[in-house]
Chain A
Amino acid sequence: MSSLDIMISASEVNKEYRREGAIIRALVDITVDIKSGEFVCVQGPTGCGKSTLLNVLSGLDLPDSGKIVFDGENISRSTEDRLSRIRRQKIGFVFQDFNLINTLTAVENVESPLWPTVLRNKEIENRAIAALRDVDLLERKDHYPPQMSGGEQQRVAIARAIVHRPRVILADEPTGNLDPETEQQVMQLLKDINKNYDTTMIVVTHREALTKFANRVIKMDRGRIASIK
């Protein structure tokens, strides 16, 4: 595998938390490479460190030691503003609780990552409409999140994650609040985005059944990588 194929590389990454006086080793000597265009599931029981790994890979949290190289750039010690810009240009986020802004319509929520950019308003609107079309939710563009079902809200959140055409989408338990049928639809949508746009997909889940969508499954246990298949 050439270094050009690698989108995110973590080497010897460690992360500890202090909670109520006790030290919790959330990540222990994590070394993993994620290739460009790959669909990776990070799977494991609650508290095994999978969300911490996602946070560290995306620059939301900094490792105590070790190195994270994101698209050729070492982000282990980057400033907060630099990390924000990397996220704006290269990363899309999908959250378990959708995290849409309730006072904005669906299309405004999708547009929101592009507001601080230099793009023209018309271009922003066109991109948001295209993203909503991709998730098959264009007819709901003027609805507010509370007027939509959980599945629809998550599709809006996915549209928001793809509107700036990121290289990587990180999803933290994206189906955690959805019923089994919607869960499959959302996972299939993420898979389609991965295929159609060659977007690297990293999905954190505790549900083993969802790993069938992935090219590779990283199983975690007590802060360590138990296996990679």
Chain B
Amino acid sequence: MLRLWKKAIILALRSRKRYFVFTMMYTALLFWSSYSLHISSVQTTTAVTSFLIAMGISIFLSLLYAWVITNYRRREIATLKCIGYTNRDCKTIIIGEILFATISGFIIVIEVLFHFVAALGYFYSAVNPSVPSSQLPLISLPAVLLTFGIFVSVQLIGILLANRRVLRVRPIIALKKVGT
């Protein structure tokens, strides 16, 4: 099982464009949602609306990613089933890829936040040196962690779709000629 998770990560990384595009989208959404969640105590209505929009996009993205992976890998899944992979083995690889993209997005968000803090500190101190650092509009860690938790939960919807689609792939497809 652990070996299949590792292979899922390798397959995700080697799919390059797809992985990069979706990870970047997750990063942007995580940042947006975390920020909305952070400011919700001050500007409740705007922040909640903004957060809900980000969640809606996240659900759409999760479904889209699951659909893209299972569609793109349809023949690979069929081949894996032919060479003895059970449905569970195939699902592990697909789910691993989806979760890895989300976790990568989270790690990038943490990295981005450091730069965000540094940039804000620099510009605020340049404009008004008397503003103490505690008053900078920083995104708190709990808001980021909560958003990440919600995003992982949202991925369950994509995972359910992936599960359904993996089950529907018949191994016999692998024997059909390409293009038929």
Contacts and interface: CB of A to CB of B under 8 A. Distances in A.
Interface of A: 51, 54-55, 60-61, 80-81, 84-85, 87-89, 91-93, 95-97, 99, 101, 103-104, 108, 112-113, 115-116, 121, 160-161, 164, 172, 176
A84 B172 contact: no
B11 interface: yes
5 contacts: A84-B87, A89-B84, A95-B79, A97-B177, A113-B83
Interface residues of B, number: 27
A201 B174 CA distance: 19
A228 B170 CA distance: 31
B140 interface: no
Contacts of B175: 51, 54-55, 60, 95-96, 172
Contacts of B84: 84-85, 87-89, 91, 113, 116, 164
A60 B172 CA distance: 6
A84 to B, nearest CB: 4
A112 B11 CA distance: 12
B172 A116 contact: no
Contacts of B89: 115-116
Contacts of A112: 80, 83
Nearest to A99: B79
A81 B86 contact: yes
Nearest to B3: A115
Given A60-B171, A97-B178, A103 B11 contact: yes
A97 B177 CA distance: 7
A54 B121 CA distance: 69
Contact of A103 (B14, B172, B174): B14
Contact of A101 (B79, B86, B172, B178): B79
Interface centre among B3, B83, B88 (most CB of A within 10 A): B83
Contacts of A54: 175
Nearest to B171: A60
Nearest to A92: B83
B122 interface: no
Interface string B144-180: 0000000000000000000000000011101101100
Given A84-B81, A93-B83, A160-B83, A116 B171 contact: no
Contacts of B80: 112
Contacts of A96: 175, 177
A60 B76 CA distance: 15
A44 B153 CA distance: 53
Interface in B1-24: 3-4, 7, 10-11, 14-15
B82 interface: yes
Nearest to A51: B175
A121 B7 CA distance: 12
A176 B15 CA distance: 28
Contact of B7 (A85, A99, A115): A115
B114 interface: no
Contacts of B171: 60
Contact of A60 (B14, B82, B177): B82
A116 B174 contact: no
